[in-house]
Amino acid sequence: MKSMTHLSEKNRKLNFINLFFKMRESPQITIYEQILKL
């Protein structure tokens, strides 16, 4: 159970990093739109 929680934390960070790079690549995508997807 503890490992599952740790894994989700890691995934959340990875998603945030991916999102950051996507936004840098394509600034036309609104930040709000991306935040709402999280």
Going from N- to C-terminal start, the domains of the chain cover 9-37
Cα angle, residue 35 at apex, residues 22 and 14 outer, rounded to 5°: 55
CA distance 36 to 32: 6
Task: Specify the DSSP class assigned to residue 38.
Answer: -
pLDDT at 34 > cutoff 60:
yes
Label residue 35 by pLDDT band (50, 70, 90): confident
- The whole-model pTM stands at 0.42
pLDDT at 3 > cutoff 80:
no
Average pLDDT (10-14) is 89
